[in-house]
Structures are given as C-alpha cells and as structure tokens.
Amino acid sequence: MAPVKVRDRLLWADAETRRWPAAGGGCESLRAARVVLRCCTLSLTLPICINIIYLQKIFETTDRNKQMSSAPITMATATDRAVAVPVHKLLESPTTRAIQIHDWTVTVSTNPISNAHALDALHASLGFPLPEMTFGANFLALDHAPSKWRFEFATPDALKGVKNGELGAGDGGVKVGYADAWLRSRTNTDSSLPMPKTVPTKPYDWTYTTTYAGHPGVWTPPDTNEGSEAGSEAGSRPVTPTVQNDEPPRPWSWAPADANNPLHSIPLAELTRPDPILFYAEVPLFEDELHDNGSSHLLVRIRVMPTCIFILARFTLRVDNVLFRTHDTRMYHSFASKPPLVVRETSGWEAPYDRVKGALPRRDDLTPLTDPNFIAKVLTGMPRQASQEVGANTGWRGLGTRVEVAVLG
C-alpha cells in the first residue's frame, strides 16, 4: 500500500480523534496530528499510522487516569463547594481494573470477544445462538466489605434474560419489515416462488432483548497487596476496613423506593457537577447486527467520584423500519448515606422507527440512528404515554420506570 498524502492523514486523524471521549480537551486532535506528521516523515503506511495513534491514545488515557488519582485534589463545584478527593487505591492488570474507596471495591474486567471454546460452552448452557460479538468474560462487580454485599453485571447472566422459546404476551416480539411479505410468499399456493423445505428450529428472541438489571454475587475479600494509593490523606489510613470478621453476609433485598424520601432517588444535580472522576470504565457485554436488520447491544458504564458511585447499564435495540427500544439500569450510592443505601432505577422506552427518525437534525443524515445516546434522548423526550405505555404496540413488559432501594446496614 502506497503512503497516503499528508493532508489525507491529517483529515483522518482529526475526524478519528473526535470520536474519542473528550476527557483530554481539544488538544487530542493536535496530538494525533503530530503523530501523523511523524508517520509521514517516516513514510509509514496508513495502517501503521492508525496503530500508532491508537496506542498513543491509550497511553494518554492512562496518564490522565494517573493524574486524576494524584493527591491532594480539591475542586470547586457549580455550587462553589469544594469537594475533597478521599483516600482511594487503584489496581490494574492487563484485563482488570479496580478502585478501593471507603468500604467499597469496584472491579471491572474487559476482554476480547470470547473464543470458540468459551462460546460453545455458553451456547450449550443458554440453548440459543449467541450474539455475533459476545464478550463472555467481561464483568463489573461492586463489593461492600462491612456487609459482604456483592453485585455484578456479567454477560452470561445478561443473556439469560433473553427469551428462549416461543415469544408470548409481554415478550415484545419483533418482526423485520419484510417478514410478513416473505411469509405470504412462502404460504401462498399460487405463488410462483418455489416452496423451500422447512427445517425445525428452536425459537428464541432474535433481537436479544433483555431487561437484565444486574444480579447478586458471592462476596470475596478484595486483594489489597498491589496498586497505587491516592487521595487527600494518602498514606495516613488504610483504604479498606481494618476490621475483618467471619460473619456471613447480611441479608438484604430490593424494596420499592419511597417517592417522598429524597434519599430514595438519584440526584441528577450531583451527577452533573464537575467533580473529579476518580475511576471510569465501559464494559461491553454483547452486540449483534441482527442479520443486517439493525443492531442490539448492551453496554455497562461506571464512574466513581469523590462523593458517590454511579452505574448505567444500557440495552439499545434498533430494528430497521420497525422500532427502537432502550432499557436503562441506573445504580447510585452516596458515600455519605448512613446506613449504606443503594438506589436502582430501571426504565424501558420504545417507539416506532419512523417516529424516532422524524427527530433527526438532518433528514439526509441517518448516522444518529446508530447512536444509543441519540436514541435514548429522543425516546426519553417523548411523552411518557407514547414511549413508556404504548411504545411500538409490542406489549413489551419492560416499558415504564421502577425505582428500588437496598439498605446494606
């Protein structure tokens, strides 16, 4: 492959870096451009140039994470209240990252798409074809040491929420736009098209729709031997509790939230403050292009700030010319809550394809229809009766919003 022109490389670098998270400000494109220029000087080909820029991005992200965890730090918020960074410890391995802060340990593991052996085992346990991109070893785990409470988001459990078998009322079954015409052509005896031999197949929800909202896990003591400690009082006290006991995990359960209790809701004002982010991760669980009929994927994100932990697990479904569907699970914990309280909010929205398409900024640009954030923004901006009650007339039981709390005292 012949080296591309300098101008082409610069244009590509600028466009590509705009797709990366803007954690480092507007200087990312300039850094990428400098890498491209160095590549041009060395007469490197475009694939090599891409790899170098990608690696540099990883290094810069790692450096920023280290800088964010350095001590001491305070930041003035929108309310002019300084937020001190508490003592915390960061741990990292090639596929796993963790933060220990107060009585909590947050662990995430991100791995490549599962290999054939792992996929075969998962397929055998679930009993239906797996998504094209299944990250079977990926997970996110929350551990609370005093109560020995553990809560996880993991791929196998998420896929257990997919309907296996004939779809019934409430399952939100979906047909692609041409399904009815295709079936008529195959069942009409006057059709000139040849009738194919039918092969029995086990039915399942081919859209991989799931209302998975995480699951309880088995608590294990966190590993505190490695990692870097940081915070406003780094080194002055241990990150994890010093009191260890052999008591069994304390019983807990999700209970309906009290609408009149402000502690039983997720405070958006706190989450939108410009507090420092001590830990951030994105954990993909699965993705499938639905035989070129759309897209289905589940992504879990977490961020840890000086005052709280926040998780968003978002399932997004697009079936071309049929519908859009989103299911969100939000979890929030304030370090100031006594006894420790976890709030979980689950919400489902749905709308016909053309209604979401009608909200495009430009009719000739369909790109936003592939963006889960745009889809969620449109769906949540509709009247509740339209997107959380009627939806796309599938009768999906995931529509609506439910708020629950768990007390870990």
pLDDT at 202: 74
- Helix or strand run (H / E) with residue 182: helix 179-187
Residues 84-105, mean pLDDT to the nearest whole number: 96
Four-residue CA torsion sign, 353, 358, 359, 364:
positive
pLDDT at 17 over 50: no
pLDDT at 169 over 50: yes
Q: What is the pLDDT of residues 288-331, one digit of tens each?
A: 999 999 999 999 999 999 999 999 999 999 999 999 999 999 99
Side-chain half-sphere exposure of 143, counting CA atoms within 13 A: 18
Residues 210-217, mean pLDDT to the nearest whole number: 97
Task: Assess whether the previous peptide bond of 251 is cis (omega < 30° from 0).
Answer: no
What is the per-residue DSSP string for 125-175? Answer: HH-SPPPSEE-TT-EEEEEETTTTEEEEEEHHHHHHTS-BSS--TTS----
pLDDT at 362 over 60: yes
What is the C-alpha to C-alpha distance for residues 252 and 256, in angstroms, rounded to an integer?
13
pLDDT at 231: 56
Q: What is the pLDDT of residues 121-161, one digit of tens each?
A: 999 999 999 999 999 999 999 999 999 999 999 999 999 99
- For the chain, the maximum distance between any two Cα atoms, rounded to a whole number of angstroms, is 84
pLDDT at 221: 74
Compare 175 and 332 and report the one with higher pLDDT. Answer: 332
Contact assessment for residue 298 and residue 138, using Cβ atoms and an 8 Å cutoff: no
pLDDT at 62 over 50: no
Q: What is the CA radius of gyration of the chain?
A: 24
Q: Highest mean pLDDT range out of 152-161, 176-185, 237-246?
A: 152-161
The bridge status of strand 139-144 relative to strand 294-304 is: unpaired
Question: Which residue in 90, 145, 59 sits closest to 277, CA to CA?
Answer: 90
Compare 98 and 24 and report the one with higher pLDDT. Answer: 98
pLDDT at 226: 57
User: Tokens standing for 298?
Assistant: 């589940």
Note the Cα 303 to chain centre separation in Å. Answer: 11
Four-residue CA torsion sign, 268, 270, 273, 274:
negative
Measured at the alpha carbon of residue 104, what is the angle toward residues 103 and 105, in degrees to the nearest 5?
135
pLDDT at 258: 97
Note the Cα 388 to chain centre separation in Å. Answer: 21
Contact assessment for residue 275 and residue 75, using Cβ atoms and an 8 Å cutoff: yes
- Residue that the structure tokens 């005093």 belong to: 146
What is the C-alpha to C-alpha distance for residues 350 and 385, in angstroms, rounded to an integer?
11
Q: How confident is the model at residue 236 (pLDDT cuts 50, 70, 90)?
A: very low
Q: What is the pTM of this model?
A: 0.75
pLDDT at 225 over 70: no
User: Tokens standing for 244?
Assistant: 């260890």
Contact assessment for residue 89 and residue 239, using Cβ atoms and an 8 Å cutoff: yes
Domain positions in the chain: 6-68, 74-162+205-407
pLDDT at 58: 44
pLDDT at 220: 78
Q: Which amino acid, one-letter code, is at 160?
A: K
User: Tokens standing for 391?
Assistant: 């939806």
Residues 249-255, mean pLDDT to the nearest whole number: 85
What is the C-alpha to C-alpha distance for residues 39 and 382, in angstroms, rounded to an integer?
48
pLDDT at 29: 43
What is the C-alpha to C-alpha distance for residues 140 and 96, in angstroms, rounded to an integer?
10
Contacts of 10 (CB under 8 A, 6+ apart): 33, 36, 37
Q: How confident is the model at residue 395 (pLDDT cuts 50, 70, 90)?
A: very high
- Helix or strand run (H / E) with residue 91: strand 88-92
Could you tell me the strand order of the sheet in which 133-134 lies?
A: 133-134, 279-288, 294-304, 308-319, 323-334, 341-352, 400-407, 255-256
Compare 361 and 50 and report the one with higher pLDDT. Answer: 361
